[in-house]
Amino acid sequence: MNGSKCNSWGIVYVLGESSELIVAASSLGLLALAPKDGGDFMSIVADSSNVVAWGLEPMGGMKEHPSNGLVYVSQPQRGYVMAIDPNVQHNYVFDAPVLQLPRPGWPSCIRFADDGETMFVCDAGNGVVWEVRGFYR
């Protein structure tokens, strides 16, 4: 259970104009790209050629940046927001977050300003929405 109101244990998100889907299996700590012809959820995440990110903690919200092509995911239990490159297969277990909230921080939803320079992160643990700049990795 991730406690986020932004999603359930699995997230499907359309990337950019390509209409490519990225699927988060939160309980498995991974992100996968769905084949263009679709498929069964468990078959997609079970095929390692579809997996682009692993080593993540249970995830909350997920949002593609409007211009840099990265997908930002929250990890509520850790208080982190991670930047994921959906074009590169990578283990993120030792990667630093782009944002770590002060405890009892519980990041969930992520949004970006139109210019892409500002990220807004809902924090249920502290009861605030953080405005973040300089978050590029």
pLDDT of residue 18: 57
| Predicted TM-score (pTM) of this structure | 0.84
Task: Specify the pairing of strand 51-54 against strand 90-91.
Answer: parallel
The verdict on residue 2 lying in a domain is no
**Number of domains the chain is built from:** 1
Q: Please give the distance of CA 7 from its chain centroid, rounded to a whole number.
A: 11
Instruction: Give the separation between CA 10 and CA 12, rounded to whole angstroms.
Output: 7
As averages over each run of 10 residues, the pLDDT of the chain (137 residues) reads 41 57 82 81 87 92 88 94 94 96 94 94 94 86
The verdict on residue 86 lying in a domain is yes
CATH for 95: 2.130.10.10
3-class DSSP state for residue 127?
coil
Alpha carbons within 13 A on the beta-carbon side of 83: 13
Which residues have CB under 8 Å from 127's CB, separation 6+? Answer: none
The verdict on residue 1 lying in a domain is no
Contact (Cβ atoms closer than 8 angstroms) between residue 74 and residue 4: yes
The verdict on residue 116 lying in a domain is yes
The verdict on residue 5 lying in a domain is no
User: What range defines the domain where residue 16 resides?
Assistant: 10-133
C-alpha distances in angstroms, 16 versus 5, 21, 77?
23, 9, 28
